């Protein structure tokens, strides 16, 4: 058993509404959607048209810059609608699902017996390649590269995140098959980062992989943090990251030859009446699981967790990389002398707010900014929740002035938005950290390519 | 509360786009957000946010200064009546009220003028009001002598806000601490009101009241600098029964403030601790080399026990409230150690070696404010070099 690596910086935001470890059932959603906004850095081109019949795994989009990357339909059915926004930019492609999903057959195979190119070709062909992402830039991996390593974080430390052991339970074989496929794609190792505070599940013990145990507050479960702690990414290096449930989807592809996009989703948050797990297919419409199951209130619906998730409507769709739905109160009320009030019920890492009386209390937080955007004034606060040997404020400032050399020098290759999400949460000046970082990553990507 | 809301709602139409007073929207916004933390919700990035904001941060610092302010009021009255030989016959409240009557107008002038200038800049630049001046406005009266005319306070404040802050882009962008900029301006523009032994205690009595025999208005530092006899005990210095700038005299009151800043985490413990170490280091060096002093006055000053330097003059006040200003201090955690140490080190060096500037902490902090970006530059460069070295090792293997 490897030694536990302690992540000291970070903070766990304790929220109400953790999902109980039971699978609840709901009516199968009738529509599914693929949202281009889930894939930064991609220029989407439609491959299917409204009215087309597709099977699960048939390509819906491809990336204009890297046409070999296609995005497979998660279900079979009819392309019902292409929702467009300004300048005809595609917002969503909605699929009206068949009662019974019909799959395109990509032929089952044992990944260990295939060559690297064959493994790659199968994943690309089935439109599943987008599950593989790369650092730097946190975008879909460039299939023409051979990554230094591949990293799978086997736990999620974000607030109310689904429990990895629970999710993998019963799918150990698929997970291991998926990892074996990944092992073909790198000359380095496939690294598995597991929660060091519990005994790792047997599913994560796979010959030929490197197991690491991490302990500490969020963001200890982020792949970026784990990579930084073990072997930081240097300029010119690429490390691929794949989520645990995405590994299982890859495993299923090799086991059955089909793109089976089922995921275990934690429906969580203080506004949910019965927070439970659901088995849903990627891109599912969430109306059927939300309707009647949330407080009758001004709610905010989030696909993902409260740190990095995207706001959706109560009839919105599950985003591509998310395994969690959070429903929280929207807030939005002005607060009389809020800057002097003790604010017992709010979250803060600072003891200038009187919530330090009950640090372990699970809270019901709303989406209020609790202040207005200001210039950077307070120093040393990001550093408390950012477990990288990187100067976060200076990195952000280099992005704001679009200084590419400084961004590179200050370590932008190692970080993704999720790694800096806590900086944004605790920021006194309410700086839009994740948005700024994304701008920086996009700028680098445009200038230097992947 | 409802009332305020209604008032704000009723005047708002004048200030929004198309209204008569559209230009003055920042002023409206400043007042509205002062009364109500606006219910803006997160629209990008994280959906939950920390309850802290800049107003909260600033008001915490102001709370931390309150003990020094209240003590300063009493002390000013006490020294005034002592000089007139009336200390025994006056009650606690008499002294406090006398001081309050002198100091409250200074606070009002400081805030009024400073915020006025800020509002003007915000209207011109169409910016929101940022809260930086809330702290500066309180600090400025606390670091002035009791007898300074109000118009000098006003001029210093204008200078500090315009030249010290707004020309650099406003809150968060300034190089120098604005409050110390105000004091430095007053110090060099009106030296007769800012130094010597006449300005620290108000001696103007009513008719029939005269100054007691043998009275000296010199500060402790002033006495050491001129070789005079120090007439205060160590305990007086610690508790603050000594002449000096309004808020700086009581080390105890400053320590209460420091405790608030440290407990809430608003003030950097690294700067305070390293500043303390720096001052002690310089003090000990002086103790060791006192015999080589060039004059008897200097020798006497150099021989002062190192720890005693900490409770004299404005050292404690400056280190706790002004060296820790996050904007003008070093911004990297490692840089804070270096910055704080040198602030303490130079503060004691200047006060001992240069009798013209007995208040060394002011110049030490201003000097280190200028040096802080350089310190940060090297700290960050070290981080960059480490990254480059890592890359080189990878390439070599």
Residues B127 and B273 in one domain: no
List, in sequence order, every beta strand (DSSP E) within A355-430: none
The H-or-E segment that residue A195 falls in is strand A190-195
What does the pLDDT read at residue A309?
95
- Residue-level pLDDT at A160: 95
> Which residue ranges does chain A devote to CATH 3.40.50?
4-26+104-256
Number of H helices, E strands in chain B: 17, 1
Same domain, B149 and B24: yes
CA distance B295 to chain A (A): 44
How many beta-carbon contacts under 8 Å exist across A and B? Answer: 210
B378-394 pLDDT per residue, tens: 999 999 999 999 999 88
Mean of pLDDT over chain B: 90
Q: Would you say A301 and A313 are in contact if contact means Cβ atoms under 8 Å apart?
A: yes
**Chain B hits for A348, Cβ within 8 Å:** 50-52
Q: Based on the domain organization, do B16 and B151 belong to the same domain? A: yes
* B142 & B19 share domain: yes
Domain end residue (candidates: B210, B231, B251): B210
3-state secondary structure of A407: helix
Mutate to test the interface with A, among B25, B28, B42, B383 (most CBs of A within 10 A): B42
CA distance B125 to chain A (A): 15
Q: Domain check: are B203 and B295 in the same one? A: no
The answer to whether the Cβ–Cβ distance between B387 and A409 falls below 8 Å is yes
CA dist., res. A318 & res. A32, Å (int): 8
To the nearest 10°, report the CA torsion of A227, A229, A230, A236. Answer: 50
- Residue from B220, B258, B225 nearest B236 by CA: B220
Nearest chain B residue (CA) to A312 = B43
d(CA A420, CA A46): 32
Per-residue pLDDT at B390: 92
Which long-range CB contacts under 8 A does B383-386 form with residues at least 24 apart?
Answer: B383/A389, B383/A390, B383/A391, B383/A410, B384/A409, B384/A410, B386/A389
CA dihedral in degrees (B362, B364, B370, B375; nearest 10)? -140
Same domain assignment for residues B15 and B134 = yes
Long-range contacts of the stretch B112-119 (C-beta < 8 A, 24+): B113/B153, B113/B154, B113/B157, B113/B158, B114/B140, B114/B157, B114/B160, B114/B161, B117/B157, B117/B158, B117/B161, B117/B162, B117/B166, B118/B161, B118/B166, B118/B170, B119/B26, B119/B27, B119/B30
Among B45, B266, B390, the residue with its CB nearest the CB of A433 is B45
How many domains are there within chain B?
Answer: 2
Supply the pTM of this predicted model: 0.93
- The answer, for B66 touching chain A at a CB cutoff of 8 Å, is no
Residue of A nearest to B56 (CA): A339
Residue B239: what pLDDT? Answer: 94
Which chain A positions have a beta carbon within 8 Å of B51's beta carbon?
343, 346-348, 353, 355, 370
Does residue B231 have a pLDDT over 90? Answer: no
Nearest CB to B47 within list A309, A333, A377? A309
In a domain, B234, yes or no: no
Is B51 close to A434, i.e. CB distance below 8 A?
no
Q: Is A337 in Cβ contact with B35 (below 8 Å)? A: yes
Model confidence at B27, in pLDDT bands (50, 70, 90)? confident
Residue A397 sits at the chain B interface (C-beta within 8 Å): no
User: Is residue B47 within 8 angstroms of chain A, CB to CB?
Assistant: yes
Assign B222 a pLDDT band (cuts: 50, 70, 90). confident
Pairing of strands A262-268, A324-329: parallel
Contacts of B50 in chain A (CB under 8 A): 346-350, 353, 370, 425-428
Measured CA distances, A184 to A114, A242, A261 (Å): 8, 14, 22
Residue A152 has a pLDDT of 96
Residues 236-295 of A with CB under 8 A from B: 236-237
Dihedral (Cα; A392, A398, A402, A406), 10-degree rounding: -110
Q: What pLDDT band is residue B132 in, cutting at 50, 70 and 90?
A: confident
CATH of domain A4-26+104-256: 3.40.50
The answer to whether position B219 is within a domain reads no
User: Mean pLDDT, to the nearest integer, of B317-330?
Assistant: 96
Nearest chain B Cα distance for residue A300, angstroms? 9
Residue of B nearest to A159 (CA): B48
The residue of chain B with its CA nearest to that of A375 is B172
Does residue B91 share a domain with residue B17? Answer: yes
Give me the residues of chain A with pLDDT under 50, please.
Answer: none
Inside any domain, residue B44 = no
- Please give the pLDDT value at position A182: 96
Cβ of B384 under 8 Å from any chain A Cβ?
Answer: yes
Residue A377 has its nearest CB partner, among B40, B59, B172, at B172
Q: Under DSSP, is residue A324 helix (H, G, I), strand (E, B) or coil?
A: strand
CB contact under 8 A, B265 and A350: yes
How far apart CA B369 and CA B204 sit, in angstroms, is 38
The verdict on a CB contact (< 8 Å) between A434 and B132 is no
- Are A347 and B33 in contact (CB < 8 Å)? no
Looking at per-residue confidence, does B300 or A409 come out higher? A409
Structural domain span for residue B364: 267-397
B192 and B301 part of one domain: no
CB contact under 8 Å between A380 and B336, yes or no, is yes
Q: What local confidence, expressed as pLDDT, does residue B9 receive?
A: 80
Helix (H) or strand (E) holding B80: helix B54-83
Q: Which of B212, B190, B168 is nearest to B328 (CA)?
A: B168
Which of A137-141, B210-214, B274-278, B362-366 is the least confident region? B210-214
Last residue in a domain, options B210, B241, B256: B210
**In this complex, which of A13, A237, A352 lies closest to B56 when CB atoms are compared?**
A352
Q: In this predicted model, what pLDDT tens digit does every residue of B80-103 receive, in sequence order?
A: 999 888 888 889 999 999 999 999
Residue B51 to residue A332, Cβ atoms within 8 A = no
Residue entry with tokens 């529509």: A31
Confidence grade of residue B221 (pLDDT, cut at 50, 70, 90): confident
Report chain B residues whose CB lies below 8 A from the CB of A432.
44-45
Put simply, whether B36 touches A (Cβ < 8 Å) is yes
> What is the C-alpha separation between A13 and B210, in angstroms, rounded?
65
- Residue in the structure block whose two tokens are 């007439």: B231
Chain position carrying tokens 């001046």 = B133
- What pLDDT score was predicted for residue B16? 79
Same-domain check for residues B173 and B276:
no
B194 and B59, same domain (yes or no): yes
Average pLDDT score over residue span B213-236: 83
Asked whether the beta carbons of residue A370 and residue B46 sit closer than 8 angstroms, the reply is no
CB distance B60–A352 less than 8 Å?
Answer: yes
Dump pLDDT digits (tens) for B264-280. 999 999 999 999 999 99
Residue B244 lies in a domain: no
The rounded Cα A58 to chain-centroid distance in angstroms is 23
Domain finish residue from B195, B210, B225 = B210
Length of chain B: 397
Nearest chain B Cα distance for residue A244, angstroms: 23
The mean per-residue pLDDT over the stretch B187-204 comes to: 86
A95-145 confidence digits (pLDDT tens):
999 999 999 999 999 999 999 999 999 999 999 999 999 999 999 999 999
Integer Cα distance of A250 and A258 in angstroms = 9
């Amino acid at each position: 058993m490897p030694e536990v690596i302690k992540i000291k910086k970070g903070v766990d935001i304790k929220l109400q509404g953790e999902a109980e470890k039971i699978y609840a059932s709901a009516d199968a959603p009738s529509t599914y959607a693929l949202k281009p906004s889930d894939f930064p850095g991609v220029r989407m081109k439609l491959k299917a048209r409204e009215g087309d019949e597709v099977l699960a795994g048939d390509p819906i989009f491809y990336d204009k810059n890297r046409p070999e990357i296609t995005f497979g339909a998660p279900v079979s059915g009819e392309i019902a609608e292409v929702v467009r926004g300004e300048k005809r930019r595609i917002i969503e492609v909605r699929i009206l699902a068949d009662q019974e999903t019909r799959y395109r057959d990509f032929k089952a195979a044992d990944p260990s017996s295939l060559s690297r190119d064959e493994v790659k070709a199968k994943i690309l062909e089935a439109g599943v390649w987008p599950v593989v992402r790369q650092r730097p830039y946190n975008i879909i991996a460039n299939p023409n590269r051979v990554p230094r390593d591949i990293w799978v974080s086997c736990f999620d430390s974000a607030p109310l995140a689904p429990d990895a052991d629970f999710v993998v339970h019963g799918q150990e074989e698929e997970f291991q098959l998926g990892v074996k496929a990944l092992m073909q794609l790198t000359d380095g190792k496939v690294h598995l980062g597991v929660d060091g505070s519990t005994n790792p599940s047997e599913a994560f013990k796979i010959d030929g992989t490197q197991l690491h145990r991490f302990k500490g507050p969020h963001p200890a479960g982020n792949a970026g943090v784990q990579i930084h702690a073990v072997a930081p990414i240097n300029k010119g290096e690429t490390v691929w990251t794949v989520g645990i449930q995405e590994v299982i989807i890859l495993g299923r592809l090799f086991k059955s030859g089909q793109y089976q996009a089922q995921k275990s989703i934690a429906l969580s948050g203080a506004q949910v009446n019965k927070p439970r797990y659901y088995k849903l297919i990627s891109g599912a419409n969430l109306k059927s699981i939300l309707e009647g199951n949330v407080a009758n209130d001004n709610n905010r619906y989030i696909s993902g967790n409260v740190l990095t998730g995207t706001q959706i409507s109560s009839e919105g769709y599950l985003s591509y990389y998310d395994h969690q739905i959070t429903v929280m109160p929207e807030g939005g009320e002005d607060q009389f002398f809020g800057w002097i009030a003790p604010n017992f019920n709010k979250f803060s890492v600072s003891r200038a707010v009187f919530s330090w009386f009950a640090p372990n209390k699970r809270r019901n937080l709303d989406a209020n900014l609790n202040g207005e955007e200001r210039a950077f004034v307070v120093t040393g606060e990001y550093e408390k929740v950012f477990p990288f040997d990187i100067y976060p404020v200076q990195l952000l400032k280099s992005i704001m002035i679009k200084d590419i050399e400084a961004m590179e020098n200050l370590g932008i290759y190692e970080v993704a938005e999720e790694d800096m999400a806590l900086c944004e949460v605790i920021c006194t000046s309410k700086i839009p950290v994740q948005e700024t970082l994304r701008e920086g990553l996009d700028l680098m990507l445009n200038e230097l390519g992947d | 509360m409802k009332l305020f809301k209604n008032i704000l709602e009723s005047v708002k139409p004048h200030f929004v786009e198309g209204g008569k007073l559209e230009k003055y929207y920042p002023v409206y916004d400043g007042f509205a957000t002062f009364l109500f933390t606006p219910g803006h919700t997160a629209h990008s990035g994280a959906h939950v946010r920390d309850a802290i904001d800049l107003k909260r941060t600033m008001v915490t610092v102001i709370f931390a200064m309150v003990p020094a302010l209240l003590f300063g009021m009493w002390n000013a009255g006490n020294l005034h009546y002592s000089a007139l030989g009336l200390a025994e016959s006056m009650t606690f409240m008499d002294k406090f009220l006398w001081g309050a009557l002198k100091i409250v107008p200074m606070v009002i002038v400081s805030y009024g003028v400073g915020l006025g200038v800020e509002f003007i800049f915000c209207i011109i630049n169409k910016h929101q009001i940022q809260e930086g001046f809330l702290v500066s406005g309180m600090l400025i009266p606390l670091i002035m002598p009791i007898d300074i005319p109000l118009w000098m306070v006003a001029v210093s404040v204008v200078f500090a806000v315009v030249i010290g802050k707004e020309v650099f882009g406003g809150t968060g962008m300034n190089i120098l601490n604005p409050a110390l900029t105000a004091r430095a301006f007053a110090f060099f523009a009106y030296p007769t009101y800012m130094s010597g032994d006449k300005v620290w205690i108000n001696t103007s009595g009513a008719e029939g009241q005269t100054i007691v025999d043998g009275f000296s208005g010199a500060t402790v530092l002033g006495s050491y600098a001129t070789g005079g006899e120090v007439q205060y005990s160590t305990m007086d210095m610690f508790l603050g029964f000594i002449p000096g700038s309004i808020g700086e005299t009581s080390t105890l009151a400053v320590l209460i403030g420091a405790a608030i800043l440290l407990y809430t985490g608003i003030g950097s413990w690294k700067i305070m601790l390293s500043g303390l170490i720096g001052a002690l280091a310089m003090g000990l060096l002086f103790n060791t080399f006192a015999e080589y002093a060039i004059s008897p006055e200097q020798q006497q000053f150099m021989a002062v026990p190192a720890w005693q330097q900490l409770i004299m003059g404005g050292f404690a006040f400056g280190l706790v409230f002004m060296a820790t200003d996050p904007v003008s201090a070093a911004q990297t955690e490692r840089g804070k150690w270096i910055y704080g140490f040198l602030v303490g080190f130079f503060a004691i060096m200047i006060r001992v070696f240069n009798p013209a500037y007995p208040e060394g902490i002011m110049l030490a902090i201003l000097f280190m404010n200028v040096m802080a970006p350089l310190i940060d530059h090297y700290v960050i460069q070290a981080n960059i070099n480490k990254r480059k070295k890592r890359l080189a090792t990878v390439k070599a293997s």
